[in-house]
Amino acid sequence: MFSHVVIFWTKPENPNATAELLAGADKYLRPIPGVLSYHVGRMAPSHRPVVDQSYQVALNLVFADKASQDAYQVHPLHLEFVEKAFKPNCAKVVIYDFE
């Protein structure tokens, strides 16, 4: 199993950035072959100080293996997501990949 976790900070000057990023993920990323588990959503508020609440959107994808995730990275729909949803709406991103 291979997990790909992406944390997004949206552009504050675009009040619709979060909604546009979420819609773009559903449109472009959800249908890519090889994704075993797909979950995208808004940051969940927490009373716990250890929980990072500085971001707006998180994406959690699970693949069978690293090779499947590598294929996802170069898939045309992923590249389209980067151009049409990520770049116009995101100021910062942090990615955590683990096996």
pTM for the predicted model, two decimal places: 0.93
Question: What count of other Cβ atoms lies within 10 Å of the Cβ of residue 56?
Answer: 20
Q: What pLDDT shows up at residue 9? A: 98
Per-residue tens of pLDDT for the chain, all 99 residues: 999 999 999 999 999 999 999 999 999 999 999 999 999 999 999 999 999 999 999 999 999 999 999 999 999 999 999 999 999 999 999 999 999
CB 35 within 8 A of CB 29: yes
Domain count, the chain: 1
CATH value at residue 16: 3.30.70.100
**Cα angle for residues 69, 99, 84 (degrees, 5° grid):** 30
Rg of the chain (C-alpha set): 13
| pLDDT of res. 31 | 96
Instruction: List the domain range (segments joined by +) for residue 40.
Output: 2-45+54-98
Q: Name the strands in the sheet holding 90-98, side by side, starting at the edge strand that comes first in the sequence.
A: 35-42, 57-63, 2-10, 90-98
